[in-house]
Amino acid sequence: MKQFNDYLKVILKHEGGYVNNSSDPGGETNYGISKRSYPGLDIKNITTEDASNIYYNDYWVKLNIDKISNEDLKLHIFDMSVNAGIKVAVKLLQSIVKTTQDGIVGSITLSKVNNEDLVDKYKESRINYYNNLVDKNPKLSIFLKGWISRVNTTKFNNE
């Protein structure tokens, strides 16, 4: 059974280090932690330990992800929440299992999620989300290839 740190390795590989891309709505970013989401942090100087604490407390725990049985699905949900936000990641999942899209992984969502293999459907939903995002905001098209690559390389043997 995989532990939080196994998931974190994949996330940190995707996110990389410090970036300040003027086209990124999140602004200054380091290890995937954005200035927009954490305006009080010195983004340029956060450590991997800082990022780990943020990802555990503000993402992993809030996602209620330990209760999802499929390891690959957990990884995709965690990765999507880091990239697009928890609510977006969970609502994509809820749309697949046809439950209320409230952005919270509760007992009803869990009962539906743990009954079938949803990884391919979730990956497809992620790609559709990114394509729709670019349709709405063409300036984000510079990120599309990277986002799709991220979906297709989100796996544990990618470390």
Q: What is the percentage of the chain residues whose pLDDT exceeds 70?
A: 97
pLDDT value for 119: 95
Query: Which tokens in the block code for residue 122?
Result: 């979730």
Residue 109 corresponds to which amino acid? T
Q: Where are the domains of the chain?
A: 4-158
Helix (H) or strand (E) holding 115: none
More confident residue, 154 or 157: 154
Question: What is the predicted pLDDT for the residue at 4?
Answer: 93
Would you say residue 1 has pLDDT above 80?
no
Q: What is the pTM of this model?
A: 0.91
**What does the pLDDT read at residue 20?**
87
- Give the three-state DSSP class for 25: coil
* Confidence (pLDDT) at 116: 78
Tokens representing 65 are: 């992800």
Confidence of residue 81 (pLDDT cuts 50, 70, 90): very high
Rg (CA), the chain: 15
pLDDT for 159 beyond 60 = no
Q: Which two tokens stand for residue 105?
A: 């992984």
**What angle is formed at CA 101 by the lines to CA 68 and CA 60, rounded to 5 degrees?**
35
> The tokens 């990389």 sit on which residue?
16
Across 34-60, average pLDDT: 94
What's the pLDDT at 114? 85
Domain 4-158 -> CATH class? mainly alpha
Average pLDDT, the chain: 91
- Residue 87 is predicted with a pLDDT of 96
Contacts of residue 132, Cβ cutoff 8 Å, sequence gap at least 6: none
Q: Helix, strand, or coil here: 99?
A: coil
For residue 96, give both structure tokens: 């697949």
pLDDT bin (cut points 50, 70, 90) of residue 158 is: very low
